Structure 1
C-alpha cells in the first residue's frame, strides 16, 4: 500500500488548500474589498480549471508517462499556491486559483490512474480507502490551521504550506511511482477538447459570475447559454466519434452511470458545505476564523473514521442498499445545519458534523468504488477522466447554487448584510438536491459491483461434509 500513500500526498495538498481557503473566505473578502459571496469565484474557478483540463490528463499520462505528468502537475500546483499568496485583487486571486486547478487537473486523476493500474480489481475498495486517509488529513488540519493563521497572522501565509508538502511529494513520486505508458496512444481529440472546454467554462463560470456585478445580465446569459450549446455540441461529437476526449458511451454501463449521475446529484448538495459553513459561523455567529475552523474540521474527522469501515459495510449490504439509504441519511445531516443558531452549543455542532462527515464519506467511497467495478482496464483512463470532470463540475455547481440561494434571500429582504435565515434556507435547498441521488441508486441491480464489494445475494451454500 505504499503507492496509495504516496499518491495521497497530492490529495493532501489539494484538500488542505481547499479547506484552508474555505475557512479564510471572510478575511480574504475583507482584504480584497469584495462581497463574501463574490468569492464563490475562488471556488468555481479552481474547480472549473480542473474540470476543463482533466479530460486530457489521461491522454498526457498515456503519451508522456505517469511519472513525468505527475511530477509536472505538482510543480504547477505549487506555483499556483505561491501566486495565491502574492495577489491583491479578486481577478488576480481567481487567476492564481486557475493555475492551481491546472496542476490539480493532472495531479489527482493521474494519481488515481496509477493506483487503479497497480492493484487487482478485488482490492479497489481497500486501496481507495487507504488512498483517501492521508488525503483527508488536509480537511482535518486545514480549517484549524487556516483559521489560526488567518486570525493571528495573515491569510496569505496559508498558501505557503503547500510548498514543503509538494517538495516531499515530488521526491517520493520520483523514487517510487512506476512510469506507466500506453503502447498504443490514441490521437488527442482536439475538437472535443475545444468543445468541452468552452462549454464547461462558459456554463459554470457564467453561473458563478452571476449576481456579483462582475458582468451585466446579457454577458451572463451569453456565457451560460453559449456554454450549454457547446456542451450539447460536444455530446453529439462524443457519440459520433471513434475516440472522443471524454467517452460518454461508458455511461451505458449501469454501475458507472449510477456512480457518475448519482454522484453528480449528491455532490451538488454536499459541495456547498465548505462554502456555507465557514461563512455562517463567522458572518452569522460572529466567530473568528480559528473558532470556525475548530468546528468545521469535525466533518473531515468523521470522514476519516469511516474509511476503515467502508469495506465491511459494502460487503454486508452491497452497493444498492448503501447508496440509496445513505443518500437520505447524509442529506438529513446536511439539513440539520439549518437548525444551528449562535445559541447552539459548540459540542453539539461538532458532534453532528462528525457523524454527518462519516456518512458522506461512506457515500463518496461507495460511488468511487462502484464506478470502476465493471470498467475494462483499457478504458480506465477514459473512465477516470470522466469521473473527475463530473466531480469537479458538481461541486462547482453546488457552490453556485448555495451562493444563488444566499443572494436571493438577501435580495428578498431588500439587500444589506447576509442574515442567518439566508444560510438556513441554503442548507435546506442543498440537502434536498443531495437526497435526490437515492432514486438513481435504487435502480441498481441487487448484485451491482459484487466483485468489488464482496456482497453476495441469497443464503450461503451449505458446507460439504467430509466423507466418513
Structure 2
C-alpha cells in the first residue's frame, strides 16, 4: 500500500508538474498585453513561449547525469528554487530581452524539477503501487493546458500580465518547504564523464526540432524554412541516435528501448501525447472562430475535458488491476480517436450538453491512456536502468508536448487548403488527429496480454517482497 509519505511526495511532484506545464501554455493568453507593456509586437512575445520549451527540451536529457552526480534531493531543491526565482525575474522584467533570459532560467528549473522529482517517487515505490502513484503525477499534465487559457484570461483581464508569473511564488515556496521535509538525501553514484558529443548532437537536434515546431505554429510562417529546419533536426537526431547506441556511457541510454513495455510507452505514448496536447489548442479556436462563442463560454466548455479527467481517475487503478494494460490502452486510444474525430461533427447548433459530453468523454480517454502509458513505462524496467529510462521517457514526453500545437496547426492548414469554410478546415483537422491516435492503438494490439503485470495487484496474488521495489541503483557514496 502507498504510505502517507509516498503519497505526499507524489502530490508534491504533481504540483511541480502543474507549474511547469502551466507556464508553457498560459503566456499565450497574455501576449497582446505583454507586447504593449514591453513596447514590442505580439509575434515577438511568441519567443517567450518558444525559449521556455526549447530550454526544457534541451536540458531534460541532462537530468539523469546531474542526478547521479549531485544527488536527487540537491537537484530537486535547486530546480524548485531556480524556477521560483526565475518566475520573480519574469514578473519584474522591463524589456523583452530580460524576459526571454528569465524564461530560459525558468525552463532550466523546470527541466530538472519534474524528471528528478518523478525519479524520487519511483525510487521508493513498490511495483504494485506504481499505478496509484503515477495516477497522482499524471493529472497536472492534463489539467494545466485546459485551465491555462481561462486562468490567463482572468489574470490579464482583472490584473496585469505580471500575475501569470507571480502566482508561481507561493506555489514554489510551498513546494520548496515540503520538499525539504519530505525528500531525504538518498544515495548517489560516481557517474562516468559527461557524454559531450551526445550533449551537442542530442540537444542541437531537439532544439532545432522544437524551433521548427514553433515556426510551423506561427500563422504567417511559410513552409520552406520550417521544413528545412525540421529536416536538419531529424538528420542531427539520427546522428545523435547512432552515437548514443555506440558509445559506452551515453547521455541518454537508448538501449532501454529493448524493454518491450518501455518501448511501447515511449512510441505509442508520444503519439498519444501529441493528440492530447493538440485538443486544448484546437477546441477553443473551433468554439470561438467557427462557432462565434465568447472566450468565457469556450473556456467553460473546454473545462469539461478536466471533468472527464477527474471522473475516471478514481477508477483507473482498479481498472488496471482488473483488466490489465493491453485492454485499457486499446479502449483509451480508440476512445480518444473517436472522441477527437467526433468533434468534426460538432456545429454551432449542436446542443451544448452533447458538445460537453463529447469533450468530457475525450477527457476520460486521455486521462486513462496517459496513466497507463506512464505506468507501464517502468513496469518491467530493471532497477539499475531506472534513471536512464526516466530521462528518456521525460525527453520523449516533452518533445511530444512541444510538437502538439505544430501538428494541430499543420492539420488545420491542410483542412483549410481542402475547404473554404472554417468548419470544414476544423473537421479535417480533427479527423486527421483522430487517425494519428489509431497508431498507438495498433501498438497496443501488439502487446502481450500479460504486459505490465508486474505492477498489477489482483485478488489472491501473493505480494511481492520489498526487494522488488522500483529503486534507484545502488551507489558508492552518499550525498
Query: What TM-score range do you get, normalising by the shorter chain?
Result: 0.7 to 0.9
Distance 1:405 1:330, change over 3 A: closer
Tell me whether 293-302 or 102-111 shows the greater mean CA deviation.
293-302
Q: Distance in 2 between matches of 1:259 and 1:182?
A: 27
Q: CA deviation at 1:232?
A: 0.9
Q: Distance in 2 between matches of 1:280 and 1:26?
A: 21
Match of 2:347 in 1: 341
Match of 1:76 in 2: 82
Question: Do the aligned residues in 2 keep the contact of 1:264 with 1:390 (CA within 8 Å)?
Answer: yes
Match of 1:200 in 2: 206
Q: 1:243 aligns with which of 246, 249, 252?
A: 249
Q: Distance in 2 between matches of 1:272 and 1:426?
A: 10
Question: Do the aligned residues in 2 keep the contact of 1:23 with 1:292 (CA within 8 Å)?
Answer: no
Distance 1:19 1:293, change over 3 A: farther
Q: Distance in 2 between matches of 1:215 and 1:137?
A: 30
Tell me whether 21-30 or 122-131 shows the greater mean CA deviation.
21-30
Match of 1:464 in 2: none
Q: CA deviation at 1:59?
A: 1.3
Question: Do the aligned residues in 2 keep the contact of 1:146 with 1:290 (CA within 8 Å)?
Answer: no
Map 1:2-21 → 2, pairs under 5 A: 2-18=8-24, 20-21=26-27
Match of 2:469 in 1: none
TM-score where L is the length of structure 2: 0.84
Match of 1:465 in 2: none
Match of 1:449 in 2: 452
Question: Do the aligned residues in 2 keep the contact of 1:139 with 1:300 (CA within 8 Å)?
Answer: no
Question: Do the aligned residues in 1 keep the contact of 2:32 with 2:42 (CA within 8 Å)?
Answer: no
Tell me whether 91-100 or 334-343 shows the greater mean CA deviation.
91-100
Distance 1:407 1:26, change over 3 A: farther
Question: Do the aligned residues in 2 keep the contact of 1:270 with 1:431 (CA within 8 Å)?
Answer: no
Match of 1:265 in 2: 271
- Give deviations 1:158-214, integer Å, cap 9, x for gaps: 232112101111111112212234233232212101110011111231243147488
Question: Do the aligned residues in 1 keep the contact of 2:411 with 2:433 (CA within 8 Å)?
Answer: no
Q: Distance in 1 between matches of 2:354 and 2:76?
A: 41
Q: CA deviation at 1:41?
A: 6.4
Match of 1:173 in 2: 179
Question: Do the aligned residues in 2 keep the contact of 1:22 with 1:275 (CA within 8 Å)?
Answer: no
Map 1:60-75 → 2, pairs under 5 A: 60-75=66-81
Q: Distance in 1 between matches of 2:63 and 2:329?
A: 29
Match of 2:111 in 1: 105
Alignment pair present for 1:355 and 2:361: yes
Match of 2:465 in 1: none
Q: 1:302 aligns with which of 308, 327, 333?
A: 308
Q: Distance in 2 between matches of 1:214 and 1:70?
A: 39
**Alignment RMSD (CA, Å):** 3.2
Q: CA deviation at 1:355?
A: 2.0
- Give deviations 1:389-434, integer Å, cap 9, x for gaps: 11111122221111123334446679xxx93433332222112111
Alignment pair present for 1:385 and 2:388: no
Tell me whether 40-49 or 245-254 shows the greater mean CA deviation.
40-49
Match of 1:232 in 2: 238
Match of 1:427 in 2: 430
Question: Do the aligned residues in 2 keep the contact of 1:34 with 1:90 (CA within 8 Å)?
Answer: no
Alignment pair present for 1:438 and 2:441: yes
Question: Do the aligned residues in 2 keep the contact of 1:151 with 1:290 (CA within 8 Å)?
Answer: no
Question: Do the aligned residues in 1 keep the contact of 2:263 with 2:377 (CA within 8 Å)?
Answer: yes
Alignment pair present for 1:253 and 2:259: yes
Q: Distance in 1 between matches of 2:141 and 2:219?
A: 36
Q: Distance in 1 between matches of 2:212 and 2:205?
A: 11
Q: Distance in 2 between matches of 1:422 and 1:85?
A: 38
TM-score where L is the length of structure 1: 0.86
Tell me the number of residue pairs that the alignment of Structure 1 and Structure 2 aligns: 454
Question: Do the aligned residues in 1 keep the contact of 2:208 with 2:229 (CA within 8 Å)?
Answer: yes
Alignment pair present for 1:405 and 2:411: yes
Structure 1: tracts of 5 or more residues without a match: 462-468
Q: Distance in 2 between matches of 1:257 and 1:133?
A: 22
Distance 1:334 1:150, change over 3 A: farther
Distance 1:221 1:327, change over 3 A: closer
- Give deviations 1:336-395, integer Å, cap 9, x for gaps: 222333333443333322221111110000011111011111111111110011111112
Q: Distance in 2 between matches of 1:413 and 1:382?
A: 46
Q: Distance in 1 between matches of 2:306 and 2:34?
A: 23
Q: Distance in 1 between matches of 2:227 and 2:133?
A: 44
Match of 1:466 in 2: none
- Give deviations 1:195-251, integer Å, cap 9, x for gaps: 100111112312431474887766545422221121111111111111111111111
Distance 1:62 1:278, change over 3 A: same
Q: Distance in 2 between matches of 1:17 and 1:346?
A: 30
Distance 1:150 1:343, change over 3 A: farther
Alignment pair present for 1:129 and 2:135: yes
